[in-house]
Structure 1
């Protein structure tokens, strides 16, 4: 439900910006900031940097960016539950930072 709430907030922000005039400074500034943030986390591809694509996001896309999922997909853990245990026991680093939160959202640069 937390992921659904986060997705709902992103969609609401995009819907609000889409109702504004395309040349409105608020839409331009906040829209670019929203798209830049979503691109940084890998939620949108470089060719999808428009507010319309934000409305098409799914919870699956958000869940794929979690550290727990990344550890499992890279083969560092035998299961998603094993990945969670490894993260909680502080065996996993993201960059130079030791992370012990399985729900940590991994950026594309990490």
Structure 2
């Protein structure tokens, strides 16, 4: 929605430039947009599938830490998964691209 509002503004509008850059930077940090897609038009083309791929639950399953997507959710809820040094118990946690390689079992 923010991208749609920003696109209605003039291309030289300071609000569009500042907030647009912040939005694109955030989308890039979370891996929703690639380096070649850093334009507001690409934000409107994001799919639900792409958002779901960035969830911790999906990442735990895809990295082979869990046998199924449901098992991944249980492991996360029971606080067996950490991202970096932080134990995370929210399956919908948005994983940044920089944190992706730090997903591991928690040492309880």
Common fold by TM > 0.5 = yes
Which among 47, 53, 64 is matched to residue 64 of structure 1? 53
Query: What's the secondary structure of 2:2's corresponding residue?
Result: helix
Which among 17, 21, 26 is matched to residue 32 of structure 1? 21
* Structure 1 residues not aligned, in runs of 5+: 1-11
Runs of 4+ in structure 1 deviating by more than 3 angstroms, as ranges, are: none
Which among 81, 95, 100 is matched to residue 89 of structure 2? 100
Which among 17, 35, 43 is matched to residue 6 of structure 2? 17
Query: What's the secondary structure of 1:93's corresponding residue?
Result: strand
Query: What's the secondary structure of 2:54's corresponding residue?
Result: coil
Which of the two has greater helix per residue?
1
Q: CA deviation at 1:42?
A: 0.4
2: CA distance, partners of 1:19 / 1:91: 45
Which among 14, 21, 34 is matched to residue 45 of structure 1? 34
Deviations 1:74-103 (A, max 9, x none): 011000000011111111010110001111
Aligned length: 99
2: CA distance, partners of 1:105 / 1:24: 30
* Structure 2 residues not aligned, in runs of 5+: 100-108
Deviations 1:29-68 (A, max 9, x none): 0000000111110000011000000010000000000000
The aligned counterpart of 1:87 is: 76
